[in-house]
Structure 1
Amino acid sequence: MGFEEEYQSFMNSHLQTRTGERLRRLQEGHNHAEILFLKQVWWPLFHQFRYLHPEYEINDFNYGNRYLDFAYIRPSIRICFEIDGYGPHLRKISRWQFSDSLERQNQLVIDGWTVIRFSYDQVKEKPRRCQQIIQQVIGRWLGDELNQIPLSLVEKEVLRLVIQKGEAISPTEVAKYLKLGVKTARKVLAQLVDKEMLTPASGTVRVRSYQLGSQVRHFHLINRGKNYP
Protein backbone atom coordinates (compact mmCIF):
# COMPACT_ATOMS: atom_id res chain seq x y z
CA MET A 1 0.00 0.00 0.00
CA GLY A 2 0.99 3.61 -0.48
CA PHE A 3 1.31 6.25 2.22
CA GLU A 4 -2.31 7.39 2.25
CA GLU A 5 -3.76 3.89 2.63
CA GLU A 6 -1.20 2.81 5.22
CA TYR A 7 -1.62 6.06 7.14
CA GLN A 8 -5.39 5.66 7.31
CA SER A 9 -5.01 2.08 8.50
CA PHE A 10 -2.50 3.21 11.11
CA MET A 11 -4.73 5.99 12.44
CA ASN A 12 -7.94 3.95 12.38
CA SER A 13 -6.33 1.19 14.40
CA HIS A 14 -5.43 3.67 17.15
CA LEU A 15 -8.73 5.54 17.02
CA GLN A 16 -10.68 2.31 17.44
CA THR A 17 -8.84 1.32 20.61
CA ARG A 18 -9.02 4.68 22.42
CA THR A 19 -11.71 6.28 24.50
CA GLY A 20 -12.16 9.41 26.59
CA GLU A 21 -9.28 11.86 26.84
CA ARG A 22 -6.91 9.55 24.95
CA LEU A 23 -9.27 9.53 21.98
CA ARG A 24 -9.89 13.30 22.12
CA ARG A 25 -6.17 13.97 22.26
CA LEU A 26 -5.50 11.85 19.18
CA GLN A 27 -8.34 13.51 17.26
CA GLU A 28 -7.31 17.06 18.16
CA GLY A 29 -3.56 16.80 18.75
CA HIS A 30 -2.55 14.95 15.60
CA ASN A 31 -2.30 17.80 13.11
CA HIS A 32 -0.43 19.03 10.05
CA ALA A 33 3.07 18.93 11.57
CA GLU A 34 2.67 15.35 12.76
CA ILE A 35 1.25 14.20 9.43
CA LEU A 36 4.08 15.93 7.56
CA PHE A 37 6.60 14.13 9.77
CA LEU A 38 5.05 10.77 8.90
CA LYS A 39 4.82 11.55 5.19
CA GLN A 40 8.19 13.19 4.56
CA VAL A 41 10.40 11.59 7.19
CA TRP A 42 9.08 8.30 8.56
CA TRP A 43 7.36 6.78 5.52
CA PRO A 44 10.25 7.15 3.02
CA LEU A 45 12.55 5.54 5.59
CA PHE A 46 10.41 2.59 6.75
CA HIS A 47 7.35 2.32 4.45
CA GLN A 48 5.15 1.41 7.43
CA PHE A 49 4.41 2.49 11.01
CA ARG A 50 5.12 -0.58 13.10
CA TYR A 51 6.09 0.14 16.74
CA LEU A 52 5.05 3.80 16.34
CA HIS A 53 2.32 5.29 18.56
CA PRO A 54 0.81 8.75 17.90
CA GLU A 55 -0.15 11.02 20.83
CA TYR A 56 1.17 8.47 23.28
CA GLU A 57 -0.01 8.89 26.85
CA ILE A 58 2.50 8.83 29.71
CA ASN A 59 2.03 9.36 33.42
CA ASP A 60 3.71 12.43 34.86
CA PHE A 61 4.27 12.07 38.60
CA ASN A 62 3.83 15.80 39.21
CA TYR A 63 1.20 16.83 36.66
CA GLY A 64 -0.84 13.76 35.75
CA ASN A 65 -1.00 12.48 32.19
CA ARG A 66 0.90 14.02 29.30
CA TYR A 67 1.13 13.12 25.63
CA LEU A 68 4.08 12.56 23.31
CA ASP A 69 3.75 13.39 19.61
CA PHE A 70 5.09 9.93 18.76
CA ALA A 71 6.50 7.06 20.79
CA TYR A 72 8.58 4.31 19.19
CA ILE A 73 8.40 1.29 21.50
CA ARG A 74 10.10 -2.07 21.24
CA PRO A 75 11.48 -4.40 23.93
CA SER A 76 14.06 -2.37 25.90
CA ILE A 77 13.60 0.63 23.57
CA ARG A 78 11.52 3.74 24.21
CA ILE A 79 12.07 6.72 21.93
CA CYS A 80 10.04 9.92 22.03
CA PHE A 81 9.77 11.97 18.81
CA GLU A 82 8.50 15.53 19.22
CA ILE A 83 7.70 17.96 16.39
CA ASP A 84 8.03 21.54 17.61
CA GLY A 85 6.43 24.37 15.69
CA TYR A 86 7.59 27.98 15.83
CA GLY A 87 4.72 30.42 15.97
CA PRO A 88 3.14 33.21 18.02
CA HIS A 89 2.21 30.80 20.82
CA LEU A 90 5.85 29.75 21.20
CA ARG A 91 7.22 33.30 21.09
CA LYS A 92 4.78 34.29 23.84
CA ILE A 93 5.54 31.33 26.08
CA SER A 94 5.75 32.23 29.77
CA ARG A 95 8.74 31.54 31.98
CA TRP A 96 6.71 28.91 33.83
CA GLN A 97 5.75 27.17 30.58
CA PHE A 98 9.35 27.22 29.41
CA SER A 99 10.53 25.67 32.67
CA ASP A 100 7.73 23.13 32.52
CA SER A 101 8.80 22.06 29.03
CA LEU A 102 12.34 21.44 30.23
CA GLU A 103 11.11 19.57 33.28
CA ARG A 104 8.93 17.38 31.07
CA GLN A 105 11.90 16.41 28.90
CA ASN A 106 14.14 15.80 31.91
CA GLN A 107 11.55 13.49 33.44
CA LEU A 108 11.29 11.48 30.24
CA VAL A 109 15.06 10.96 30.22
CA ILE A 110 15.04 9.95 33.88
CA ASP A 111 12.28 7.44 33.11
CA GLY A 112 14.43 5.81 30.45
CA TRP A 113 13.19 7.53 27.30
CA THR A 114 15.42 8.74 24.49
CA VAL A 115 14.05 12.12 23.41
CA ILE A 116 14.47 13.33 19.82
CA ARG A 117 13.04 16.72 18.88
CA PHE A 118 12.61 18.15 15.39
CA SER A 119 11.40 21.60 14.44
CA TYR A 120 8.60 21.91 11.91
CA ASP A 121 11.05 23.66 9.57
CA GLN A 122 13.46 20.72 9.78
CA VAL A 123 10.70 18.27 8.88
CA LYS A 124 9.56 20.44 6.00
CA GLU A 125 12.88 21.62 4.59
CA LYS A 126 15.39 18.94 5.64
CA PRO A 127 13.53 15.61 5.85
CA ARG A 128 16.60 13.62 4.80
CA ARG A 129 18.60 14.95 7.74
CA CYS A 130 15.74 13.97 10.06
CA GLN A 131 15.78 10.48 8.56
CA GLN A 132 19.50 10.18 9.23
CA ILE A 133 19.03 11.10 12.87
CA ILE A 134 16.23 8.56 13.27
CA GLN A 135 18.27 5.86 11.56
CA GLN A 136 21.20 6.61 13.86
CA VAL A 137 19.20 6.56 17.09
CA ILE A 138 17.25 3.40 16.23
CA GLY A 139 20.36 1.73 14.82
CA ARG A 140 22.20 2.44 18.06
CA TRP A 141 19.66 0.36 19.96
CA LEU A 142 19.07 -2.37 17.39
CA GLY A 143 22.59 -3.11 16.20
CA ASP A 144 22.67 -6.40 18.13
CA GLU A 145 19.82 -7.77 15.99
CA LEU A 146 22.35 -8.15 13.19
CA ASN A 147 23.64 -11.19 15.06
CA GLN A 148 20.52 -13.01 13.89
CA ILE A 149 21.47 -12.60 10.22
CA PRO A 150 23.79 -15.25 8.70
CA LEU A 151 26.68 -12.95 7.77
CA SER A 152 30.40 -12.96 8.39
CA LEU A 153 31.79 -10.89 11.26
CA VAL A 154 33.28 -8.36 8.84
CA GLU A 155 29.98 -8.00 6.96
CA LYS A 156 28.12 -7.35 10.22
CA GLU A 157 30.64 -4.73 11.26
CA VAL A 158 30.21 -2.94 7.93
CA LEU A 159 26.43 -2.88 8.37
CA ARG A 160 26.75 -1.57 11.93
CA LEU A 161 28.97 1.21 10.62
CA VAL A 162 26.45 2.22 7.95
CA ILE A 163 23.57 2.12 10.47
CA GLN A 164 25.45 4.21 13.02
CA LYS A 165 26.52 6.76 10.43
CA GLY A 166 22.98 7.17 9.15
CA GLU A 167 24.03 7.92 5.56
CA ALA A 168 25.92 6.48 2.61
CA ILE A 169 29.44 5.24 3.22
CA SER A 170 32.48 4.93 0.96
CA PRO A 171 34.89 1.99 0.54
CA THR A 172 37.67 4.22 1.92
CA GLU A 173 35.73 4.80 5.14
CA VAL A 174 35.09 1.08 5.53
CA ALA A 175 38.75 0.29 4.91
CA LYS A 176 39.87 2.85 7.51
CA TYR A 177 37.32 1.74 10.11
CA LEU A 178 38.10 -1.99 9.79
CA LYS A 179 41.81 -1.52 9.01
CA LEU A 180 41.47 -3.29 5.68
CA GLY A 181 42.80 -2.57 2.23
CA VAL A 182 40.44 -0.59 0.00
CA LYS A 183 40.31 -3.52 -2.45
CA THR A 184 39.20 -5.87 0.35
CA ALA A 185 36.65 -3.32 1.57
CA ARG A 186 35.17 -3.09 -1.93
CA LYS A 187 34.90 -6.89 -2.04
CA VAL A 188 32.99 -6.99 1.26
CA LEU A 189 30.69 -4.17 0.12
CA ALA A 190 30.01 -6.00 -3.16
CA GLN A 191 29.11 -9.15 -1.21
CA LEU A 192 26.61 -7.16 0.85
CA VAL A 193 25.10 -5.71 -2.33
CA ASP A 194 24.66 -9.23 -3.71
CA LYS A 195 22.82 -10.15 -0.47
CA GLU A 196 20.64 -7.00 -0.76
CA MET A 197 21.99 -5.73 2.54
CA LEU A 198 23.49 -2.68 0.81
CA THR A 199 22.77 -0.89 -2.42
CA PRO A 200 24.91 1.55 -4.47
CA ALA A 201 24.26 5.16 -3.50
CA SER A 202 26.50 6.90 -6.02
CA GLY A 203 28.58 5.94 -9.03
CA THR A 204 27.71 3.68 -11.96
CA VAL A 205 30.71 1.97 -13.54
CA ARG A 206 32.60 2.27 -10.25
CA VAL A 207 30.47 2.61 -7.10
CA ARG A 208 31.66 5.44 -4.86
CA SER A 209 29.31 4.97 -1.90
CA TYR A 210 26.78 2.53 -0.48
CA GLN A 211 23.58 2.77 1.58
CA LEU A 212 21.33 0.31 3.40
CA GLY A 213 19.56 -2.18 1.17
CA SER A 214 16.07 -3.66 1.34
CA GLN A 215 16.97 -6.71 3.43
CA VAL A 216 18.44 -4.65 6.27
CA ARG A 217 15.63 -2.09 6.17
CA HIS A 218 13.05 -4.88 6.39
CA PHE A 219 14.73 -7.06 8.98
CA HIS A 220 16.78 -4.70 11.07
CA LEU A 221 14.71 -1.55 11.27
CA ILE A 222 11.27 -2.61 10.16
CA ASN A 223 10.51 -6.31 10.71
CA ARG A 224 7.54 -6.38 8.34
CA GLY A 225 4.01 -6.75 9.58
CA LYS A 226 1.57 -4.52 11.42
CA ASN A 227 1.23 -4.43 15.15
CA TYR A 228 -1.13 -1.49 15.49
CA PRO A 229 -1.63 -0.01 17.93
Structure 2
Amino acid sequence: MENVEMNPQLHAAYNQWLASQIKSSSRERRQRLKKGLSFSSKQFVIRILWPAFGSFDGWLAEYEVIDFKDGYRYLDLAKPSVAIKIAIEIDDKGTHGSNADAHKFSDDRFRQNDLIIDDWKVLRFSFRSIMDQPRRCQQQLMHALAKWGLESNRIEPALKPAETAIYKFVENRAESFSPATLAKAVGIHRNTAVKHLKSLVAKGKVMPDASKPGGPIRRYRSKKGYL
Protein backbone atom coordinates (compact mmCIF):
# COMPACT_ATOMS: atom_id res chain seq x y z
CA MET A 1 0.00 0.00 0.00
CA GLU A 2 1.43 3.34 -0.98
CA ASN A 3 0.29 6.91 -1.07
CA VAL A 4 -1.07 8.31 -4.33
CA GLU A 5 0.53 11.47 -5.69
CA MET A 6 -2.00 14.12 -6.66
CA ASN A 7 -1.70 15.41 -10.21
CA PRO A 8 -1.99 19.21 -10.72
CA GLN A 9 -5.70 19.10 -11.62
CA LEU A 10 -6.61 17.06 -8.55
CA HIS A 11 -4.26 19.06 -6.32
CA ALA A 12 -5.90 22.35 -7.33
CA ALA A 13 -9.44 20.97 -6.98
CA TYR A 14 -8.68 19.49 -3.56
CA ASN A 15 -7.15 22.69 -2.19
CA GLN A 16 -10.03 24.81 -3.52
CA TRP A 17 -12.61 22.40 -2.06
CA LEU A 18 -10.99 22.42 1.37
CA ALA A 19 -10.42 26.20 1.40
CA SER A 20 -14.05 26.94 0.54
CA GLN A 21 -15.22 24.77 3.44
CA ILE A 22 -12.84 26.42 5.89
CA LYS A 23 -14.12 29.82 4.80
CA SER A 24 -17.78 28.87 5.24
CA SER A 25 -17.48 26.91 8.51
CA SER A 26 -17.18 28.00 12.14
CA ARG A 27 -16.40 26.76 15.63
CA GLU A 28 -14.70 23.40 16.00
CA ARG A 29 -15.38 22.28 12.43
CA ARG A 30 -13.34 25.19 11.13
CA GLN A 31 -10.45 24.25 13.39
CA ARG A 32 -10.62 20.61 12.37
CA LEU A 33 -10.57 21.52 8.68
CA LYS A 34 -7.66 23.92 9.14
CA LYS A 35 -5.63 21.01 10.51
CA GLY A 36 -6.34 19.11 7.30
CA LEU A 37 -8.12 15.82 6.75
CA SER A 38 -6.89 12.68 8.43
CA PHE A 39 -4.67 10.47 6.28
CA SER A 40 -7.45 7.90 5.81
CA SER A 41 -10.05 10.53 4.85
CA LYS A 42 -7.66 12.16 2.39
CA GLN A 43 -6.90 8.80 0.80
CA PHE A 44 -10.63 8.18 0.37
CA VAL A 45 -11.07 11.58 -1.27
CA ILE A 46 -8.23 11.15 -3.78
CA ARG A 47 -8.50 7.39 -4.38
CA ILE A 48 -12.27 6.92 -4.37
CA LEU A 49 -14.26 10.15 -4.58
CA TRP A 50 -12.27 11.93 -7.29
CA PRO A 51 -11.80 8.97 -9.66
CA ALA A 52 -15.48 8.05 -9.29
CA PHE A 53 -16.97 11.48 -9.98
CA GLY A 54 -14.22 13.83 -11.12
CA SER A 55 -15.30 16.53 -8.66
CA PHE A 56 -16.13 17.16 -5.00
CA ASP A 57 -19.43 18.92 -5.71
CA GLY A 58 -21.86 18.58 -2.82
CA TRP A 59 -19.44 16.69 -0.57
CA LEU A 60 -18.43 18.13 2.81
CA ALA A 61 -15.64 16.99 5.12
CA GLU A 62 -15.84 16.95 8.92
CA TYR A 63 -19.56 17.63 8.65
CA GLU A 64 -21.08 18.69 11.97
CA VAL A 65 -24.21 16.95 13.27
CA ILE A 66 -25.95 17.07 16.65
CA ASP A 67 -26.32 13.69 18.31
CA PHE A 68 -29.08 12.55 20.64
CA LYS A 69 -27.09 13.72 23.67
CA ASP A 70 -27.11 17.28 22.24
CA GLY A 71 -23.40 17.04 21.58
CA TYR A 72 -21.59 17.52 18.28
CA ARG A 73 -20.22 14.73 16.16
CA TYR A 74 -18.26 15.07 12.94
CA LEU A 75 -18.80 12.88 9.90
CA ASP A 76 -15.76 12.02 7.82
CA LEU A 77 -17.63 12.98 4.64
CA ALA A 78 -21.22 13.93 4.00
CA LYS A 79 -23.48 14.82 1.08
CA PRO A 80 -26.54 16.36 2.73
CA SER A 81 -29.58 17.58 0.85
CA VAL A 82 -33.29 18.08 1.44
CA ALA A 83 -34.11 14.84 -0.38
CA ILE A 84 -31.40 12.57 1.05
CA LYS A 85 -28.48 12.73 3.46
CA ILE A 86 -25.45 10.53 2.78
CA ALA A 87 -22.68 9.92 5.31
CA ILE A 88 -19.33 8.28 4.58
CA GLU A 89 -17.60 6.80 7.62
CA ILE A 90 -14.04 5.53 7.31
CA ASP A 91 -12.86 2.83 9.68
CA ASP A 92 -9.29 3.89 10.34
CA LYS A 93 -6.76 1.13 10.86
CA GLY A 94 -5.84 2.42 14.31
CA THR A 95 -9.22 3.30 15.78
CA HIS A 96 -11.62 0.53 14.86
CA GLY A 97 -12.00 -3.24 15.00
CA SER A 98 -9.77 -5.38 17.19
CA ASN A 99 -7.59 -2.45 18.27
CA ALA A 100 -10.50 -0.44 19.64
CA ASP A 101 -11.42 -0.66 23.31
CA ALA A 102 -14.91 -1.75 24.31
CA HIS A 103 -16.16 1.78 25.01
CA LYS A 104 -14.97 3.14 21.68
CA PHE A 105 -16.40 0.19 19.80
CA SER A 106 -19.82 0.58 21.45
CA ASP A 107 -19.86 4.36 21.00
CA ASP A 108 -19.09 3.93 17.33
CA ARG A 109 -22.14 1.69 16.92
CA PHE A 110 -24.36 4.14 18.78
CA ARG A 111 -23.03 6.87 16.48
CA GLN A 112 -24.06 4.95 13.38
CA ASN A 113 -27.46 4.05 14.86
CA ASP A 114 -28.12 7.72 15.66
CA LEU A 115 -27.39 8.65 12.05
CA ILE A 116 -29.71 5.99 10.68
CA ILE A 117 -32.49 7.01 13.08
CA ASP A 118 -32.02 10.58 11.84
CA ASP A 119 -32.56 9.37 8.23
CA TRP A 120 -28.95 9.35 7.10
CA LYS A 121 -27.80 6.82 4.51
CA VAL A 122 -24.52 5.50 5.89
CA LEU A 123 -21.70 3.90 3.92
CA ARG A 124 -18.62 2.58 5.71
CA PHE A 125 -15.26 1.80 4.17
CA SER A 126 -12.19 0.39 5.86
CA PHE A 127 -8.79 2.00 5.43
CA ARG A 128 -7.44 -1.27 4.01
CA SER A 129 -10.16 -1.53 1.36
CA ILE A 130 -9.49 2.09 0.31
CA MET A 131 -5.82 1.30 -0.17
CA ASP A 132 -6.09 -2.25 -1.57
CA GLN A 133 -9.44 -2.28 -3.40
CA PRO A 134 -10.10 1.27 -4.64
CA ARG A 135 -12.03 0.19 -7.74
CA ARG A 136 -14.44 -1.90 -5.67
CA CYS A 137 -14.97 1.05 -3.31
CA GLN A 138 -15.61 3.37 -6.27
CA GLN A 139 -18.11 0.96 -7.79
CA GLN A 140 -19.99 0.46 -4.52
CA LEU A 141 -20.18 4.21 -3.91
CA MET A 142 -21.45 4.90 -7.44
CA HIS A 143 -23.96 2.03 -7.19
CA ALA A 144 -25.30 3.35 -3.88
CA LEU A 145 -25.72 6.92 -5.16
CA ALA A 146 -27.43 5.71 -8.32
CA LYS A 147 -29.80 3.53 -6.27
CA TRP A 148 -30.62 6.51 -4.04
CA GLY A 149 -31.37 8.69 -7.06
CA LEU A 150 -28.12 10.67 -7.16
CA GLU A 151 -25.68 10.88 -10.06
CA SER A 152 -27.88 8.52 -12.10
CA ASN A 153 -28.95 11.36 -14.41
CA ARG A 154 -25.44 12.60 -14.91
CA ILE A 155 -24.92 13.49 -18.58
CA GLU A 156 -21.66 12.21 -20.01
CA PRO A 157 -20.05 14.54 -22.56
CA ALA A 158 -20.27 13.29 -26.14
CA LEU A 159 -17.03 11.98 -27.64
CA LYS A 160 -15.98 12.44 -31.24
CA PRO A 161 -15.21 9.21 -33.16
CA ALA A 162 -11.45 9.76 -32.83
CA GLU A 163 -11.82 10.49 -29.10
CA THR A 164 -13.88 7.32 -28.65
CA ALA A 165 -11.14 5.25 -30.30
CA ILE A 166 -8.48 6.85 -28.11
CA TYR A 167 -10.52 6.43 -24.94
CA LYS A 168 -11.14 2.74 -25.66
CA PHE A 169 -7.38 2.30 -25.89
CA VAL A 170 -6.53 4.14 -22.66
CA GLU A 171 -9.57 3.65 -20.35
CA ASN A 172 -8.34 0.53 -18.51
CA ARG A 173 -4.63 1.31 -18.54
CA ALA A 174 -3.26 1.64 -15.01
CA GLU A 175 0.04 3.21 -16.12
CA SER A 176 0.53 6.67 -17.57
CA PHE A 177 1.34 7.12 -21.26
CA SER A 178 2.87 9.75 -23.53
CA PRO A 179 1.16 11.32 -26.56
CA ALA A 180 3.80 9.66 -28.75
CA THR A 181 2.94 6.21 -27.39
CA LEU A 182 -0.75 6.84 -27.96
CA ALA A 183 -0.16 8.21 -31.48
CA LYS A 184 1.79 5.11 -32.49
CA ALA A 185 -0.82 2.76 -30.98
CA VAL A 186 -3.82 4.27 -32.77
CA GLY A 187 -2.05 5.41 -35.94
CA ILE A 188 -2.28 9.19 -35.70
CA HIS A 189 0.21 12.07 -35.60
CA ARG A 190 1.56 13.07 -32.19
CA ASN A 191 0.14 16.60 -32.49
CA THR A 192 -3.29 15.14 -33.24
CA ALA A 193 -2.97 12.89 -30.21
CA VAL A 194 -2.15 15.91 -28.01
CA LYS A 195 -5.19 17.79 -29.34
CA HIS A 196 -7.55 14.88 -28.59
CA LEU A 197 -5.99 14.26 -25.17
CA LYS A 198 -6.60 17.88 -24.17
CA SER A 199 -10.23 17.50 -25.25
CA LEU A 200 -10.57 14.29 -23.22
CA VAL A 201 -9.09 16.06 -20.19
CA ALA A 202 -11.72 18.80 -20.53
CA LYS A 203 -14.43 16.13 -20.76
CA GLY A 204 -13.20 14.42 -17.60
CA LYS A 205 -12.07 11.19 -19.27
CA VAL A 206 -8.29 11.59 -19.06
CA MET A 207 -6.03 13.16 -16.46
CA PRO A 208 -2.75 15.03 -17.07
CA ASP A 209 0.11 13.40 -15.23
CA ALA A 210 2.83 15.97 -14.50
CA SER A 211 6.07 14.78 -12.93
CA LYS A 212 5.66 17.52 -10.32
CA PRO A 213 2.89 20.02 -9.43
CA GLY A 214 2.96 22.90 -11.89
CA GLY A 215 5.38 21.14 -14.19
CA PRO A 216 4.92 20.53 -17.93
CA ILE A 217 2.41 17.86 -18.99
CA ARG A 218 4.27 15.15 -20.90
CA ARG A 219 2.18 12.15 -19.90
CA TYR A 220 -1.47 11.33 -19.29
CA ARG A 221 -3.50 8.62 -17.60
CA SER A 222 -7.05 7.36 -17.73
CA LYS A 223 -9.27 8.42 -14.83
CA LYS A 224 -10.94 5.00 -14.94
CA GLY A 225 -7.75 2.97 -14.78
CA TYR A 226 -5.85 5.49 -12.71
CA LEU A 227 -5.65 3.45 -9.49
Q: Could you say which TM-score interval applies, normalised by the shorter chain?
A: 0.5 to 0.7
- Compared with structure 1, are the counterparts of its residues 43 and 92 closer, same or farther at alpha carbon in structure 2 (3 Å cutoff)? closer
Please give the per-residue CA displacement for 1:89-114, whole angstroms capped at 9, x wherever unaligned. Answer: 76443322211111110110111111
Unaligned runs of 5+ in 2: 1-7, 173-200, 206-227
The alignment partner of 2:149 has SS state of helix
* Counterpart residue number, 1:16: 23
Q: 1:102 to 1:45 in 2, by over 3 A?
A: same
Report the alpha carbon displacement of residue 144 of structure 1 after superposing the two structures with TM. Answer: 9.7
**Equivalent of residue 120 in structure 1, options 121, 127, 131:** 127
Aligned amino acid, residue 106 of structure 1: N
- Counterpart of 2:110, as a letter, is E
The change in CA–CA distance for 1:39 and 1:95 in structure 2 (over 3 A counts) is: same
- 1:101 and 2:71 correspond: no
Letter in 2 for 1:71: A
Selected match of 2:78 from 66, 71, 85? 71
Q: 1:143 to 1:51 in 2, by over 3 A?
A: closer
Alpha-carbon shift at residue 69 of structure 1 (Å): 0.2
Amino acid at match of 2:88: F
What amino acid is aligned across from residue 148 of structure 2 in structure 1? W
User: For 1:67 and 1:43, how far apart are their aligned partners in 2?
Assistant: 21
Match of 1:26 in 2: 33
Deviates more, 1:87-96 or 1:10-19: 87-96
What does 1:130-209 correspond to in 2, within 5 Å? 130-142=137-149, 146=153
Which structure is higher in helix share?
1
Q: Determine helix, strand or coil for the equivalent of 2:119.
A: coil
Label 1:43 to 1:31 Cα distance change in 2 as closer, same or farther (>3 A).
Answer: same
Looking at structure 2, the residues matched to 143 and 18 of structure 1 have their Cα atoms a distance apart, in angstroms, of 25
Asked if 2 retains the 8 angstrom alpha-carbon contact of 1:55 and 1:69, the reply is: yes
Q: Does 2:69 align with 1:62? A: yes
In 2, the alpha carbon distance for the partners of 1:144 and 1:127 equals 19
| Counterpart position of 1:46 | 53
Q: Which runs of 4+ in 1 moved over 6 A?
A: 199-202
Q: Note the C-alpha offset of 1:74.
A: 3.3
For this pair of structures, how many residues does the alignment match? Answer: 166
- Distance in 1, matches of 2:20 and 2:93, equals 30
- Mapped contact 1:29–1:55 kept (Cα < 8 A): no
TM-score when normalising by structure 1: 0.61
Deviation of 1:63 after TM superposition, in Å, equals 5.1
Identical amino acids, percent of aligned pairs? 33
With normalisation by structure 2, the TM-score equals 0.61
